[in-house]
Amino acid sequence: MIKNIETRYSYLSEYLFINLLNTINGRNNVFTDFLEEEGLMDAWLSLMKERGLLHSEQVEKIKESPIDIKKIQLFREQCRSYFLEPETKSKFLENLASNTEKAPLFFDKEFRPTPSEGGTDGLISLITYDMLTAHYNGLFPKIKKCKSDSCYALFVDTSGRRKWCSMEICGNRTKAHKYYAKKSNK
């Protein structure tokens, strides 16, 4: 297990799909795709379980079959483009709903979804369900990209005024950079 996985993310959300979308990051002008690192997919699944976004049965089912990282990365990029590039929005939701066909979900007594298949299709099916639930609950218009040039994180802006994924990281860096730039121009 990769230690301190939580510290790698500038923003961890209460939504499973946003956390997958944020498995890429840019810090100190270096682009990092966390899914390309060996063992990080298992670490990510464990972190989502620890945070209560996945339950044990879901993780066990997903781990029954291999996960194709390239397919997960492609899915992630298609989803990110929906939020970052307005011209891609028209067919995205239609295509998104079809993702649950390869691994239909079944629900337990507590109405928690578990995919019928493991691996890549099962994970995509769960994330798709999370996204569609968020869409139908009106969350999509509140999803924004962090204003920091070096950050790729998406976050939920419930107030309508938020600019950064994290004030502690990106907000402070941006404000400090502006302050020192202004001070050096005097």
Residue 54 contacts residue 45 (beta carbons within 8 Å)? yes
Helix/strand/coil for 26: strand
pLDDT in tens, 34-70: 888 888 899 999 999 999 999 999 999 999 999 999 9
Count of domains observed in the chain? 1
Q: Which residue has the higher pLDDT, 33 or 48?
A: 48
pLDDT category of residue 73 using cuts at 50, 70 and 90: very high
Residue 90 belongs to what domain range? 5-184
Please give the angle made by the CA atoms of 143, 62 and 112, to the nearest 5 degrees. Answer: 65
Tokens standing for residue 47: 């972190």
Cα separation, 111 vs 107, in Å, equals 5
Element (H, E) at 96: helix 89-97
Give the model's pLDDT for residue 1.
43
Q: Which of 124, 76, 126 is nearest to 105 (CA)?
A: 126
Q: What is the CATH number of the domain that holds 132?
A: 1.10.3300.10
Q: Which of 56, 6, 55, 20 is nearest to 131 (CA)?
A: 20
Cα separation, 2 vs 34, in Å, equals 11
- The one-letter amino acid code at 118 reads G
For the segment 70-79, the average pLDDT, to the nearest whole number, is 94
pTM exceeds 0.95 for this model: no
pLDDT in tens, 116-174: 999 999 999 999 999 999 999 999 999 999 888 778 889 999 888 888 787 666 755 65
Q: What are the backbone angles phi and psi of residue 28, rounded to the nearest 5°?
A: 55, 40
